[in-house]
Amino acid sequence: MTTIRDNDVEKEAMKRDFYHLIINGEKVKSSTGETIKTYNPATGELVAEVAKASKEDAEKAVAAARDAFDNGKWKKSTIGRRAQVLNKIAAIMRARFNELVELEILDTGKSLQAAQGQVSQAIEDFEFYAGAIVGHRGTVNNVPGQFHNYTEKEPVGVCAQIIPWNYPLMMAAWKVAPAIAVGCSVIVKPASLTPLTAIILGEICLEAGVPAGVVNVLPGSGSEIGNFLVEHPQVDKVAFTGSTPIGKDIMGKASQTLKRVTLELGGKSPNIVFEDADMEAAVDGSLFGIFYNSGQSCEARSRLYVHEDIYDDFMIKFVEKTKKLQLGNPFDKGTHVGAIIDQGQLDTIDGYVQSARKEGAEILVGGNVAKPEGYENGFWYEPTIIANVNHDMTVVKEEIFGPVVVVMKFKDEKEAIRLANDTEFGLGSAIWSKDGARATRVANQIQAGIVMVNCPFSAFPGTPFGGYKQSGFGRELCIETLDLYSETKSILSYYGSRPLNPFGL
């Protein structure tokens, strides 16, 4: 495996400047000839041109996926065979690790450290589900008399999988791996801003032995292609990761055909630091919790609650370390915070910060658009800490999706829980305390799908990931995800020696 270096990496990744749709096992251009241009958020420079799917292309992809599911061999293949192919996908991804990391950085502007970790997890997702599918089976149930009841797990069918721009490859892996593991066919709709690694993943699936039509990839407009797939009567399930408003819209449209739906939506996750916390660990974990991936993460711990007894000491350290975070070349190992995805998101982030200023909040550090040397044409925002806030302020209530954290004091455990739960969201949360009993008590009362205790990490293959309230429903990244792509069929049989005569006629 080669070493990632600044200029060599970018030159290698730029050798390919056009990316196709993947429909029915073939790389094709759009039926309209239209394309999407993708840009490097760190520099503003063109990265590649991508075929832009039309509704005609989407119809072809649905037909291919439907035929592959109804008449193909994939869902009928043995679990061992499917596991073997998933492991081969992982092996090819591992062999192309640097290429995937390079493309993810060029397409998203994220830091090298972040990209490497996310590509690694994407690989591990396929390995995890290759093992998990072996144990995915039905049950034998106790029923009265001379009856026998057992259940079988069957793939749900054709699945539309709509991928966000903040974790392009990792989120694609979260969805594709469990779906094809159980025997479904999928149509992947990557975000228009970041389609490259999802397309490469589709190509790798074909190379690994996934039959034509089982994995299709359609970069294109979410409002056009995404909605087309959600409303299509031949699509059986939709899995979406993205904003809560769009998730609500998808849920409404999918209800017209009673599609199965999995939604992983927005968040405004609390991060609670008690007075007995390990100060250094809490500071470092809180730093990572909000500024990792430039804060463009649905479970970013963007509401920080610090016990009043340690607030001053904590904030001195937290502000000091925030000021040391490095922005700039994403390929440099010393860069901590990468770029913002585009100008629109940059404007949104700055708009929230300016609203906080108008409402009387105090900007302790940051609060401005950044211009790292040599990357002045990219989209950057300073890591920002906002204090003197309350729960009526917009920056406290709404998801900012950027490197911005709001900080408040609390006086006791009861208040911490109340403040943490005072939100319409319920995705992630974090607790810092050396008291195991307290951590357990608080964790049990937090209304969120993920609680991190003395730990800044929220997801490993095998750990359920998903939200409460308006953060969505369904769990990804775990064994239970296989059930979201399955139907349970109950088979009841009678083995008595006498024929049944219920009416007694």
Catalytic residues: 264, 298
Distance CA 422, CA 401 (A): 19
Token pair belonging to 156: 């749900």
Per DSSP, 368 falls in state S
Token pair belonging to 461: 């293959």
3-state secondary structure of 105: helix
Q: What are phi and psi of 360, to 5 degrees?
A: 95, 10
Distance CA 241, CA 427 (A): 12
Q: Which residue do the tokens 């989209």 mark?
A: 379
Q: What long-range pairs does 202-205 form, CB within 8 A, spacing at least 24?
A: 202/22, 203/22, 203/27, 204/89, 204/92, 204/93, 204/96, 205/89, 205/176, 205/180
What torsion do the CA atoms of 468, 473, 475, 480 make, to the nearest 10 degrees? 120
Q: How far is CA 500 from CA 147, 148, 490, 496, 504, in A?
A: 11, 14, 20, 8, 9
**How many other C-beta atoms are found inside a 10 Å radius of the C-beta of residue 209?**
15
Distance CA 149, CA 354 (A): 62
Token pair belonging to 84: 């073997």
Residue 92, C-beta contacts closer than 8 angstroms, at least 6 positions apart: 204, 207, 208
Distance CA 350, CA 264 (A): 25
CB 192 within 8 A of CB 164: no
3-state secondary structure of 402: coil
**How many other C-beta atoms are found inside a 10 Å radius of the C-beta of residue 334?**
10
Residue 283, C-beta contacts closer than 8 angstroms, at least 6 positions apart: 314, 317, 318, 321
Residue 450, C-beta contacts closer than 8 angstroms, at least 6 positions apart: 299, 427, 428, 429, 458, 459, 464, 465, 466
User: Which segments of 413-475 are extended strands (E)?
Assistant: 430-432, 452-453, 472-473
CB 379 within 8 A of CB 339: yes
Name residue 128's amino acid. F
Q: Which secondary structure element, helix H or strand E, spans residue 103, and what is its range?
A: helix 97-108
3-state secondary structure of 157: coil
3-state secondary structure of 375: coil
